[in-house]
Structure 1
Amino acid sequence: MKALYWEGDGFVLLYKKLENGCFQWSQNSQDVKLITPREFSRLLEGLSLNQPKAVKKVYLQKAL
Structure 2
Amino acid sequence: MTEPINFNKARKALHKQQAKAQAAANRARFGRTKAEKDAEALAAEKARRELEGKKREE
- State the TM-score, normalized to the length of structure 2: 0.27
- State the TM-score, normalized to the length of structure 1: 0.26
Higher fraction of strand: 1
Select the structure with the greater relative contact order (CA < 8 A; seq sep ≥ 6).
1
Higher fraction of helix: 2
User: In terms of Rg, which structure is larger?
Assistant: 2
